[in-house]
Amino acid sequence: MRLKDKIIKKEITIGIIGLGYVGLPLAVRFASAGFDVTGIDTDEGKVTKVNEGKSYIPDVKKEEIKRLVSQGKLRATIDYDALGNLDVIIICVPTPLRKTKDPDISYIVRAVREIGKYLRKGHIVVLESTTYPGTTRELVLPELESSGLKVGKDFFLAFSPERVDPGNSRYNIKNTPKVVGGITPECTEIVKTLYSQAIDEVIPVSSSEVAEMAKLLENTFRATNIALVNEMAIMSGKLGVDVGEAIDAASTKPFGFMPFYPGPGSGGPCIPIDPHYLSWKLRTLNYNPRFIQLAEEINSSMPSYAVEKISQVLNKSRKSINGSRILILGVAYKKNVGDIREAPALEVINLLLDKGADLAYNDPYVPRLNIEGKVLKSVRLEDTLLKEMDCVVIITDHSLYDFEWIVRNANLIIDTRNATRDIKDSSGKITKL
Catalytic residue numbers read: 270
Q: Please give, one letter per residue, the 3-state secondary structure of 384-399.
A: HHHHHCCEEEECCCCC
CA 75 to CA 47: how far, in whole Å?
Answer: 8
- Residue 75 in contact with residue 40, Cβ under 8 Å? no
* CB-based burial label for 417 (10 Å; 0-12, 13-18, 19+): buried
Of 81, 82, 92, 80, nearest in space to 30 by CA: 92
Task: Give the list of residues 6+ apart from residue 35 with CB closer than 8 angstroms, or none.
Answer: 10, 12, 13, 14, 73, 197, 198
- Residue 320 in contact with residue 314, Cβ under 8 Å? yes
Q: Of all helices (H) and strands (E), which one includes residue 376?
A: strand 374-377
* CB-based burial label for 285 (10 Å; 0-12, 13-18, 19+): exposed
- Residue 254 in contact with residue 323, Cβ under 8 Å? no
